[in-house]
Amino acid sequence: MEECAHGNDDEQRWISRVLEGHKEEYTFLVNKYKNKIYGLLRGMGADQQDAQDLTQTRW
């Protein structure tokens, strides 16, 4: 449980830096979550092209 809380703290720091205008951190977060978003969309029934389009549109 402690490791999970630590992970949330790290993510909060990344998000704070993004909000301060640090583009590198934004790129890190996009790369970290884009495959998860794509997989979620596919699991919800989106075909490959729609899932790719939606993932790119959101990010």
What integer pLDDT is reported at residue 59 of this predicted model?
A: 61
Q: What is the value of pTM for the model shown?
A: 0.63
Per-domain residue ranges of the chain: 2-58
What's at 52, amino acid-wise? Q
pLDDT at residue number 1: 37
Please tell me the predicted confidence (pLDDT) of residue 3: 43
State the pLDDT at residue 57.
Answer: 77
Q: Are 18 and 26 in contact (CB under 8 A)?
A: yes
pLDDT profile of the chain (59 residues), mean per 10: 60 92 89 93 97 83
Could you give the maximum distance between any two Cα atoms of the chain, in Å?
39
pLDDT at position 2 is: 41
